[in-house]
Amino acid sequence: MHDIAFIRANPESFDAAMHKRGAEPVADRIVALDAKKREATTKVQQAQSRRNEASKAIGQAMGQGDKDKAEALKAEVAEIKTSMPEWEEAERAAGEELDRLLATLPNIPADDVPEGADEDDNIEVHQWGEKREFRFEPKEHADLGPALGMEFETGAKLSGARFTFLRGDIARLHRALAQFMLDRQTRENGYTECNPPLLVNDDAMYGTDKLPKFAADSFRTIDDRWLVPTSEVPLSYSVAGEILPDLAEPMRLTAHTLCFRSEAGSAGRDTRGFIRQHQFEKVELVSICRPEDSEAEHERMTKCAEGVLEALNLPYRRMLLCTGDMGFGARKTYDLEVWLPGQGAWREISSCSNTGDFQARRMNARYRPEGEKKTQFVHTLNGSGLAVGRTLVAVMENYQSEDGRVEVPEALHSYMGGVTKLEPR
């Protein structure tokens, strides 16, 4: 949600920002609607004020037993009230239209976000790690998988496309990855472990900017809840409506959860393999912090995600997303892309975004700066640390040998109960 006062004061720079994100100029419309709404608000409030005054006088007249005076005042109030519904309706209509319009507008990009149309305009910030040299043609995970217990056919039989059944040591490796990530983020990076509900209401989805724009991307339950598309939703929304005492240190939350996405609109993309599933697991990082801290926190969070890749010795690169490729609510986003030798491609494995106060406004999440009376909106950040399924894919492709076996990365040995290799059947 945008700050209406900012748009009112800076309509041109607002439109310029929307233009960068491929949206039409709307500031004029917003300012006009806002003026209309405030005019109606003032009229309504004036009428209410007069009504309240007269009602008070009626009470006094009744108290003194002056029936005639009371009746006269009643008639006066009736007169005052005739114009109220009209202005109330005007206020409601303008407010609703304004909200609807504002709800569909993406966040304003940060100054250092490059302008661009799509992923080709993203900027590589840095690369880490050496791409491993293979003395054979490395396979894609989708080809390695079935012999190792990554059963696409079984998943399809049970549930349909984009579902996969993991059996045996590969299921354990998947679990080990999640445990490893969660332990690392909690023990080394100071995140507090959470276990949130995975079915959430409309408010939580709206507050974290998944509604109204992306309703089709998520699953709806028959009792009108949503399956979380990411645990960012419950983690971030946990501070909705709160006034946090102070945020000298950012509030850092993490959770390992299932995520559900309908993947409407991505038909035909990544249909093969384990990359794009309706159900997947993710270790999510969320930070709630003061506005002046969010930029540093964004860097820190991204490093926390990178640390997992480094510990697993998986080559990756950090991309700064351009205006055209950023998510709706983000003001700045880094994607981490891991190297997949089987596919010969970089694939997104984490996305870390600073949403500024965009979500905080929607969910009314504030804090009170030390010693001050006024509250301020917090800044919220979210990132993957990491997507578990895609990390499994990266391990398979980077740690494979010619005979189809996959070595378990050293960092995971303590989680694997002595298993150091996945053996094909």
Kindly state whether residue 53 participates in binding RNA, applying the rule CB under 7 A: yes
Kindly state whether residue 303 participates in binding RNA, applying the rule CB under 7 A: no
- Which position among 26, 58, 233, 388 is part of the footprint of RNA (CB under 7 A)? 58
Applying CB under 7 A, the site for RNA has a residue count of 29
Distance CA(268)–CA(378), nearest Å, equals 39
Least Å distance, CB 376 to RNA, is 8
Site string for RNA, 136-155 (x = CB under 7 A): --------------------
Kindly state whether residue 62 participates in binding RNA, applying the rule CB under 7 A: yes
Beta bridge partners of 352: 334, 383
User: Tokens 């100071």 appear where?
Assistant: 190
Least Å distance, CB 367 to RNA, is 11
Least Å distance, CB 393 to RNA, is 31
> Is 322 within 8 Å of 116 (Cβ atoms)?
yes
Q: Coil, strand or helix: which one is 94?
A: helix
> Is 125 within 8 Å of 318 (Cβ atoms)?
yes
Least Å distance, CB 46 to RNA, is 6
Q: Coil, strand or helix: which one is 189?
A: coil
In this structure, are strands 192-193 and 199-200 parallel, antiparallel, or unpaired?
unpaired
Kindly state whether residue 225 participates in binding RNA, applying the rule CB under 7 A: no
Site string for RNA, 324-363 (x = CB under 7 A): ----------------------------------------
Q: Which is nearer to RNA, 51 or 276 (CB)?
A: 51
Distance CA(220)–CA(240), nearest Å, equals 22
Phi, psi at residue 318, to the nearest 5°? -100, 125
Q: Which is nearer to RNA, 53 or 188 (CB)?
A: 53
Phi, psi at residue 88, to the nearest 5°? -60, -40
- Which position among 298, 300, 366, 379 is part of the footprint of RNA (CB under 7 A)? 366
Report, as residue numbers or ranges, the catalytic residues.
261, 276, 348, 351, 390
Kindly state whether residue 59 participates in binding RNA, applying the rule CB under 7 A: yes
Kindly state whether residue 32 participates in binding RNA, applying the rule CB under 7 A: no
Which of the residues 65 through 124 are near RNA (CB under 7 A)? 74, 77-78, 81
| Structure-token pair, residue 193 | 């472990």
Q: Which is nearer to RNA, 49 or 83 (CB)?
A: 49
Distance CA(185)–CA(194), nearest Å, equals 12
Least Å distance, CB 63 to RNA, is 7
Kindly state whether residue 41 participates in binding RNA, applying the rule CB under 7 A: yes
Q: Which is nearer to RNA, 53 or 86 (CB)?
A: 53
Distance CA(112)–CA(299), nearest Å, equals 14
Kindly state whether residue 56 participates in binding RNA, applying the rule CB under 7 A: yes
Least Å distance, CB 280 to RNA, is 23
Distance CA(332)–CA(377), nearest Å, equals 18
Amino acid identity for residue 408 in this structure: V
DSSP 320: E
Chain centroid, CA 293 distance in Å:
19
Beta bridge partners of 381: 287, 354
- Interacting stretch for RNA, rule CB under 7 A, among 17-25, 56-64, 148-156, 246-254? 56-64
> Is 90 within 8 Å of 36 (Cβ atoms)?
yes
- Which position among 6, 32, 45, 190 is part of the footprint of RNA (CB under 7 A)? 45
* Nearby residues of 401 by Cβ (< 8 Å), 6 or more positions away: 407
- Interacting residues toward RNA by CB under 7 A: 4, 38, 41-42, 44-46, 48-49, 51-56, 58-60, 62-63, 74, 77-78, 81, 243, 366, 373-375
